[in-house]
Each structure stands twice: as structure tokens, then as C-alpha cells.
Chains A and B, each alone.
Chain A
Amino acid sequence: MRPSSITGNAIAVGLLAIAVLLAFGLGRFPIGPAELGRLLWSALSGEPSGLPAQVETVIWNIRGPRVLAALLCGAALAIAGTAFQGLFRNPLVSPDILGASSGAALGAVLGIYLSLGLFAIQLAAFIGGLVAVGAVYAVGSAIRRGDPVLVLVLTGVVVGSLLGAGIGLVKYWADPYNQLPAMTFWLLGSLAGTAKTDLLPLLGPVLIGCAVLVALRWRMNAMSLPEEEARALGLRTGPLRLAIVVAATLVTAASVAAAGIIGWVGLVVPHLARFLVGPDFGRLLPTAAILGGGYLLVIDTLARTAGPVETPLGILTAVIGTPFFIWLLASSRGGWS
């Protein structure tokens, strides 16, 4: 039995709040809710917060940006995954199904190979993701036979594996002492070292893409029907599909550019959200965003506190995601509720 949608959203928001408090409260400089409140108040009112300067620096320049980045990336991946699962009528789809992650990864490893600066590497990743999905979409649309959705997915899989070969080749060329570790680190995903300046290139695409997806969410129910049924209900499926793909790719590419490859979030969180508020996309999409932000924040907090050195995010999401998904496969019957 699932909770009512109001209860479901209350649970999601509650989990998010706990995740934020934990993220600030854990680490080498634990920052309690009271201190956090005082700091926010001082920022709003201009009064001195009375906290040590060191703590203020940690919050504003280190922990704060990292928490925000985790929330944005998690929400982005979850919302893109939810939209894609509906669009491709398949609950096992994740936001990188059309090659967004592999395209971004190729862009990033090329950037590292060419010894570009950090910002240029992120830009290369972002552009790589967009170009890969653009290519998949162009090829998929040019093949005019059968179900357009199925053709698109298959094209994505094929192009993704070609991009994987490209990544392998660049790694093979790379200098094994300097470049290769950087590439490996990037491919496993991390938010370590996120600075305030990293937030702006993340914030813009994520907000725009999420706004488009949230605005279109009421049409996503009918978009999850077979192509001809959706058209018979009066939907302009071609333009709608393109809008959803562009928006979901924008947020995925931005989050991969900022944090590297973090699998599983876009696959697992939509199912958790569906469990809380049901499959209706009108309610599901906002809940998935809230839950996704909280989920990745918890993972990131774990990543920086669980061991003597940071654990890559992609490793943690896989370790948590795999058993969860096996449980999901074993326990779901009668459709993906």
C-alpha cells in the first residue's frame, strides 16, 4: 500500500531536510542546525553571525557549494530519469540511455588528454553530452521504420558503445602517471573540490531543463502510451518528444560535467518516487526531483565521511543501487507502480 500523495511529498521533503542537516552536521567541521540558522540569518540581516571565521569559510566556500551541487545534480538526474522512463515506456531506462553520459565522458577525457583547464574540461563534457544525444536523435529520426521510440533507444545503445570505444582509445593514449588517474577519477564521479564558481554553469542548465520537464509533466502520462495512441489522443508526439529529450539531456550533461559519471541515481530514484506518490507524472516529477536531491546528498555525505579517503560517488551509488534494484525486480508485480 502506498501513502497518499500529500503524505508521500511530506516524506520526500522530510528526507531532504534530514539529508541537508546531516550533510552540514557531519565532517571535520560539524555544523549544527543552530549555527546554520545563525549564519543564514546573518546573511539575510547583515548582522554578524558570531561564528568563528573558519566555520563561516567552511560553510560558504566548501560545504555549502558542495551541498548545493549534490542537490542540483541529484534532482537533475532523477527528473531526467523519470522523464525518460516515461518517454521510452521502460522503467529500466536511465538518463544516459541516449548517450548523454558517454558523450560527456568522451568530452571530459579528451579535455584531460589535451591538458585543458578545469572549466574547459567541464565545458567539453557538457558539449560532448549534447553532441552525442544530438547525433543519436538525428540518426534515430533518419531511420523511418518501425516504432520511433524503439529506434531511438537502439541507436542510443549503439552510439553509446561506440563512444565507449572512443573513451578507451583516449585512455590508452593518455599519460599513465598524470592524465590516466585524473580520467579514472572523473569517470567514477565526485563532488570533491566543488567551488562557488562551479555552481553557476550547473545552475543555469539544470533550472532551465527542469522547468521545461516540470511544465510538460501533465502530458507525459499520454506520452508513455504507444506512439499511435498518444497521437490519437491529440498529442503532437514529435515536437513533445524532442522537447523532453533536449531538456533531459541539458540537465544530464550539466550534472555529468560538474560531477562526473554518477550512475544509478536516475534509475533508482524514479522508482522510490513512484512508490511514494504513484506513477502519475503530474505528481511524480516534482517528488522525484526532491527525492533525487536528498538521495545524492546522502550519498555524497557518505562518500566524504565513511572512510579515510573519499569514496567515488559512482561506486557508492552502484553498491546501493544494485541490491535495491534486484529487490525491485523481485518484488514488483502488476506493472511498475
Chain B
Amino acid sequence: MSLAANALAYGYREREIGSDIALSLARGEVLALLGPNGSGKTTLLKTLLGLLPPKGGSLTLDGRPLSELSPPERARALGYVPQAHAGTFAFTVLSVVLMGRSAHAGLFAAPSARDRAIAHAMLERLGIERLAERPYTLISGGERQLALIARALAQEPAYVVLDEPTASLDFGNQGRVMSEIRRLAAEGLGALFTTHDPNQALRHADRVMMIRDGQALASGKAAELLTPERLRQLYGVPVETVTDGDGRVAFLPG
């Protein structure tokens, strides 16, 4: 049971962004995608979510080609957490989370009691139940990110894909979001996230994939893969390493 890509080429209609991607995300594991700005991470995520058709190779979800799934089927298997944005209309946080139930409802159906119960449960799980009736536009960036995770979980997916989930968050919220991702994996979901922080990948991911210019530079176990030498290759800058008394490692750029 996995979301698996083989020799995957991806990109937009007339432009190939990346190729030859081999990747597999099993349920219960966390995979981090590392790469410099403009390396094609977001485009790869969209392809893995089935939002862009692959330009070559194979992409399967639990053994079935992803392109054979209908949009609702896809959304019931793959949850997407985009980068948080304020949005146009001041929906309540509960309304935002209820949108995650779209793929479970009929075309003309109002949210059911079950949908509401699930939305409330997800808010509670992420510790933001108190925000349920607040306008989504008026909560903080960290709270929005948590609300979007709640929305993705309301889809009841088997895999969750997060696009730079900590990009605009303060130090404390970064920690909360990352431990939430770990918890998802502990409960049997597969989680894939992109990040600019190798330390997050080292600390919270089981496996890491490094991409640069749409090519997989390396992939493997986080602890083995993340070395100063590889990071220097990936980002093109020297990397310093700090080690504490217990032998735990952190990286510093420059």
C-alpha cells in the first residue's frame, strides 16, 4: 500500500519541469522533500496529487494508476495541505474544515450531521476547536495552517501531502505542525511534506528525497542521507554542522 512514482516525468502542458523521479510513500511513514527554490518541488506535489497529468513514467496509488481515479476517489485517498493564505471570503473555520468533506457528499447535499461531527473532531484533534466559529480571515497564520491540516484530515485520506507546512510559521507553531505530522504517521497515514529546513527533515522525517532542477539528487533514510556534503551539493553553499553532547546533529547554512 503506497503512493508510488516510477521514472515519473512531470511539468506543465508545454514545459517539462522534472523527470526520472522514483519515489514511494508508504502508509505510516513520513517523507520529506528537500530542494532549493525553483527546484520543481511544488509542481511535483501537484503531479503526485493528481492535479497535473504525468508527462511520462508511472504513478500509482495502492497499485492503481492515479489517473484512473475519479476526482472524489482521489480526494478520499489523498489529502492536500496547501500553503496557508487568507482567502477571499470570511468563512468560519468550521466552514473551511467542512469543505474537506466535499468528496464524501453528493453534488447537491448539505453537510450531514456526520460531516459536522468529523469536522469538529478534527478541529479538536488539532487543538483549535475554540476557533470553530471564528472567521478564517481573522485568525493567525499558524492557526490557518492547523485549520488546513484539519480540512485535509476531514477528507479521511490515507496519505497527506503538505506544501511547505511551516513556511510562514513562528518557531512554536513550526514545532506544533511538525509533531502533528509525526502523529499522523503514527496513526498509519503516509505523510509527504516539502521544507526548506534540513533540520526538520532530519528530526521528523523517516526518509528524505533531495531534488534539484527537477532531478532526484538522492533519496534514502533521513539520518544517512543528510550530510553536510550532500546539503552543500543541493543548495550550493557550504554547510556547518553543530553536534550536541548526545551526538544529535543540526545544520547551519553558510
Which A residues have a C-beta under 8 Å from some C-beta of B?
86, 89-91, 144-145, 215-216, 218-219, 221-222, 224-226, 228-229, 231-236, 274, 278-280, 282, 334-337
Contacts and interface: CB of A to CB of B under 8 A. Distances in A.
A229 B135 contact: no
Contacts of B71: 231, 234-236
A126 B119 CA distance: 44
Nearest to A88: B88
A280 B74 CA distance: 25
Contacts of B100: 233
Given A218-B111, A229-B82, A234 B74 contact: yes
Contacts of A218: 105, 108-111
Interface string B71-114: 11111101010100111111110010011101101011111000
Nearest to A235: B102
A91 B76 contact: no
Contacts of A221: 91, 95, 98-99
Contacts, number: 95
Contacts of B107: 216, 219
Nearest to A282: B110
A232 B82 CA distance: 10
Nearest to B87: A335
B88 A90 contact: yes
A100 to B, nearest CB: 22
A65 B242 CA distance: 82
Contact of B135 (A86, A144, A216, A337): A337
A335 B90 contact: yes
A232 B95 contact: no
A144 B15 CA distance: 13
Contacts of B74: 234
Interface string B126-153: 0000000001111000000000000100
Interface string B35-77: 0000000000010010100000000000000000001111110
Contacts of B137: 334-335, 337
A233 to B, nearest CB: 5
Contacts of A334: 90, 135, 137-138
B76 A234 contact: yes
Main SS at interface, chain A: loop
Interface on chain B toward A: helix, strand, loop, or mixed SS?
mixed
Given A216-B108, A225-B99, A232 B88 contact: no
B13 interface: yes
Contact of B89 (A91, A226, A233, A236): A91
A233 B75 contact: yes
B195 interface: no
A273 B108 CA distance: 21
A226 B88 CA distance: 10
B194 interface: no
B166 interface: no
Nearest to B101: A233
7 contacts: A90-B88, A222-B99, A232-B51, A232-B80, A235-B102, A334-B90, A337-B135
Given A215-B108, A279-B89, 10 more contacts: A222-B102, A226-B82, A231-B51, A232-B75, A234-B74, A234-B76, A234-B102, A278-B92, A279-B95, A334-B138
A279 to B, nearest CB: 4
A229 B96 CA distance: 12
